[in-house]
Structure 1
Amino acid sequence: MRIGSVALPGCAFLAPMSGVTDIAMRRVAQRFGASLVFTEMVAAEAYAKGDAENRLKAEGRGVDPHVVQIAGCDAQSMARAARIAADSGAAILDINMGCPAKKVINGYSGSHLMRDLPLALDLIRATVRAVDIPVTLKMRLGWDEASINAAELGRLAEAEGIAMLTVHGRTRSQFYNGKADWRAIRAVKEAVSIPVVANGDCASLADAARMMDVSGADAVMIGRAAIGQPWLVGMIAERLATGVVGAEPSPAEKSEAAQEHYDGVLRLFGREQGMRHARKHLAAYAERSGSPAAGALRARLVTADDPETVRSILSELFDFPLRAEAA
């Protein structure tokens, strides 16, 4: 699969998730075989002005290819942000027109733009013209059931030079409720000649295969299901590429990955802020671990105030299968 000039090793992607897909998580997911990983959403105007928080979100060291997702409602800010990201090493730019959060749409960004296609196209045009790297677009099916316009936006975006489309199979009005409509994504695939990625409710290898079949998409994007198990994206990539269900990482590999993620967060944010940021990830690792002691270990992880204690608990968290085998 290719996105413009960028060749990819597979067709399973880690979704951009606000407050979640920090650089440490992206590195771990890619190391386990994720075909492509995206930054969390970067606010274009703040990023262009040098805002430290958004610069951290756009960090890409150790990730190749590096994809930065930007969001905004001003064409000049989008263009400036795109140039800064490209100059900082981004290989691909992604435009967010899918975020349903009120604070985003109230700023006329994210999925609000599906209600204003002229503005959406102005932003796309400015971003594409600002850089020499591929620009992609992430969107929803539409604003609500009465205004399903993803295929229309997809055709218009392709004409402006967008190199790939990702479609979350819900409307903005649904937020994350109900079931993603994978079949509705097929209308976008049939409307364009560029690659289309299906997103929404892909939680397993079986989901991914069915999602590809039902949607006709060229790739799948995994979001919430990868939190606490970033290796899942690589397992899905292998299943889609070979038809073979590969082995899960060993308990030792999972423990190492969780600790690598934790240490990366501390390096990125510093000890105090990093420990706060890491709590959502630590809780998810515990919940996904399958350990009989997951509840108690989760409580200890999210309240620990010393990194060495957290590392010790993470080792204990993933050690239970080995102890069971030894018994």
Structure 2
Amino acid sequence: MFPGEDRWYFSREEIDNNSPSRRDGIDLTEETRLRKAYCSFLKDLGRRFKLHQATVATAMVFCHRFFLCQSHAKNDKWIIAAVCMFLSAKVESTPVDLKTLIITSEEILHKKVIAAEQRQGVYEHYKGLVSNGEKLVLSTLNFDLSVDLPFDILIQAMKKFILDEATQGKFPSAAWKFVQDSFWTTLCLQYQPRHIAAGAFFLAAMHIKMDVKSHGESWCQHFDITLHQLNDIRGQMGELYHGKKRTPTSTGSIGETSNTGDVVQQQPVPTDNCPSSVIEGGSSSVADGSLQDQSRPEGVEKDSPDREAGDNQEDS
């Protein structure tokens, strides 16, 4: 029913335990915080540029895929995130001006307006880093910029199943928020878009106290998802909101569904096969294919304040 490729889907165990960051001494808790930090940054960038949610979500997916193959210890997450937004804006046909992107990124990170006389210097400093970063991101992703998103699938399901007037007033905003928040996790590296849409759909239904038990089996069949997959997605979304790893529990109300669905063929994280690129020129170049910003121009603090993960994430 739904198209999809398996090339970017892996087991959670491989993502959590075998990432390049783990080999460089960054534990799972810290890497989770770093992932949320660049998602928060991308969300702010999207707001400043008034970009469609698809552009922001695609940028988040690019970042997650990049750090699946490259280490947080060796790459400036802010530069990589800005590059991913730049690429995503191109892919989604909502291009942004590079100079404005660089200036806006620095203003967001430092929570201050960069003076007019300093803007050109900031741009001159960062344009080379962003250019090198773009080469590195493209190389790391093997020039694969195809991203399937769950938004259209979720909309189709809401049109099909949400019929009564009372539900129509509450359900869409809740479901939309859940699917947006899913990109702050690594679920997009584990499950196909229809599964993410299903998780958001069921979470929204439970949130507004719909009769999940009566409709759960037909919903599962529509999304082609198993109960195990659904519970795993629910559990990981719960971790996002509650801040600790939890064992997914039975839904109870849909526990009797017999839907089997198809399971994505998950595979080991290809850390040894991820392409790395030797970026030439400047002190930011690292031979193993990483990117760091080691200096800052006048008007920009030497070390940007590390935004707390989820510091602008709204409650669902």
TM-score by length of 2: 0.28
Query: Structure 1 or 2: larger strand share?
Result: 1
As a proportion of its length, which structure holds more helix? Answer: 2
Q: Which has the higher contact order (CA 8 A, sep 6+)?
A: 2
